[in-house]
Amino acid sequence: MSRYILALDQGTTSSRAILFDRRGNIAAMEQQEFPQHYPQSGWVEHDANDIWRSQLEVAQAVLKKHQVSAADIAAIGITNQRETTVVWDRKTGEPVCPAIVWQDRRTAGLCDRLRAEGREALFAARTGLVLDAYFAGTKLNWILENVAGARERAERGELAFGTVDSWLIYKLSGEHLVDSSNASRSLLFDIHRGEWDDELLAVLDVPRAMLPRVVASSGVAAQAGEQWFGAALPIAGIAGDQQAATFGQACLRQGMVKNTYGTGCFMLMHTGAQAAASKNKLLTTVGWSFAGDDGKPRDTSYMLEGSIFVAGAVVQWLRDGLGIIEKSSDIEALAAQAPDNGGVYFVPAFTGLGTPYWDPYARGSMSGLTRGSTKAHIARAALESIAYQTADVLEAMQKDAAIALAQLRVDGGAARNDLLMQFQADMLGVQVVRPQVTETTALGAAYLAGLATGFWDSQEEIASMWQVEREFDPAMAPDQRQELLDRWRRAVSCSKGWMLAG
């Protein structure tokens, strides 16, 4: 009997491979960072071959180092940084240009033009998304318009488009697929019909021949070739990282909410079997789907989502850009040296602002500095910025859902920071709950794969395995909380529209 699910967690700054046992516990993990490229202001790129190489190496290493064979693996689950756009040659399997990362803002002007043409309502109604450079569709249009020969080759059927899940599946199996959760982040997919939309394809001038086949998030979709792991293995779980984290947090019922603290910060609320339109600048997105008897996606769950572009990345910037910490984990001790932020507010709008502002022209700022400000105050302000942004998102989400949240489940690397989690509880005025397994993104992909292959029997079994590690209760007076939030929003106003002329 197989002992493990192999989860491939391809993130923005690193690739990880994790083996999960039947209790949903981590049996082994390997991780590898890969290069980030910033060719000009607002642009963020990856070499898609770096993504593939690093992901394959950690997957092979986790099996070799821990003496696990392919016979021990029931299935592969894949989760990925979303919206990052890859275009490759179908014959050679080589990318035609660097991958354009979800953080990249180069298509902000195209989004402005589409709004001016009155297209915003169409995209919102069909896709549940706002017109923003964040999403894959405008990035794909940019590649077709700016990479020499790309449009002609795409129209001849020579090029393939995919998000990172598609790219990894293609390299592992030769199949050109995307799951419904990742498809829903493209501005090209009708989330209500579960199909690519010809009218949206025409607006963004994308040839249908480039598009992958849409499959379920949970279901055997392809077979990883035996050359990679010694035997063919089913790829049976696929989901974008935030949807996977929501599943891994066992937010399986309507009204449940999780927040992931990674490179960015993403809050998702399960809204059930119907897509709920937002009136407060949240996104409506596919959460996950299950394969029917015909193999096609069914039983789709939908989410409301708030997207924060820079969360954990601000800690990396303090480490790599300013050099005030040696490693990311040093941030908590440094921030704790200051009893409060000393009036310093840090808005980390390095690549614009997401929910609820949706301002691609915003840029980072630091407000309230005095001669008495220290690196401890800056570190604390950086951490606090993550909690303030989350408070902005939750306020919008509670307005949309018309319910008061009682508890927030948290995960991701920064969720291990006790100072941040306590401040988060204080800023939200609700209990913050950290599970024993915080690698919930990979765990969600594992769960989706395990359900498809009988490794786990039911969603109820999965929910029963979720366990609390620590609870953080709010301890701040409401008037103090409101004063901090008011000052934060003043700081945000200084960052908005920074890159606009005049």
Which among 96, 107, 110, 17 is positioned nearest to 49, based on CA atoms?
A: 96
Flag whether 12 is marked binding: yes
* Burial of residue 18 (number of CB atoms within 10 Å: 0-12, 13-18, 19+): buried
Give the separation between CA 369 and CA 366, rounded to whole angstroms.
7
Flag whether 13 is marked binding: yes
End-to-end CA distance of the chain: 66
Three-state secondary structure of 348-410: CCECEECCCCCECCCCCEEECCCCCCCHHHHHHHHHHHHHHHHHHHHHHHHHHHCCCCCEEEE
Q: 460: which DSSP letter? A: H
Flag whether 312 is marked binding: yes
Integer angstrom CA distances of residue 488 from 55, 368, 450: 38, 11, 43
Q: Is the N-terminal amide bond of 356 cis, ω within 30° of 0? A: yes
Residue labelled with tokens 């998030």: 217
Task: Let me know: does 362 contact 497? Beta carbons within 8 Å.
Answer: yes
Flag whether 280 is marked binding: no
Q: How many CA within 13 A on the CB side of residue 195? A: 5
Integer angstrom CA distances of residue 208 from 63, 74, 87, 135: 38, 34, 13, 18
Flag whether 115 is marked binding: no
**Which amino acid is it at 299?**
D
Q: 72: which DSSP letter? A: G
Q: How many residues does the chain have?
A: 502
Give the separation between CA 354 and CA 281, rounded to whole angstroms.
9
Residue labelled with tokens 């949970």: 218
Phi (first) and psi of residue 412, to 5 degrees: 95, 170
Flag whether 16 is marked binding: yes
Tokens of 438: 């915080």
* Burial of residue 323 (number of CB atoms within 10 Å: 0-12, 13-18, 19+): exposed
Flag whether 82 is marked binding: yes
Give the separation between CA 298 and CA 306, rounded to whole angstroms.
25
How far, in whole angstroms, is CA 429 from its chain's centroid? 25
Flag whether 323 is marked binding: no
Flag whether 412 is marked binding: no
424 three-state secondary structure: helix
Flag whether 417 is marked binding: yes
> Which residues define the annotated binding site for glycerol?
82-83, 134, 241-242
Please report, in range form, the residues annotated as the binding site for ATP: 12-14, 263, 312, 316, 413
Residue ranges for the known binding site for ADP are 12, 16, 263, 312, 413, 417
The annotated binding site for sn-glycerol 3-phosphate is made up of 12, 82-83, 134, 241
Which residues make up each annotated binding site?
12-14, 16, 82-83, 134, 241-242, 263, 312, 316, 413, 417
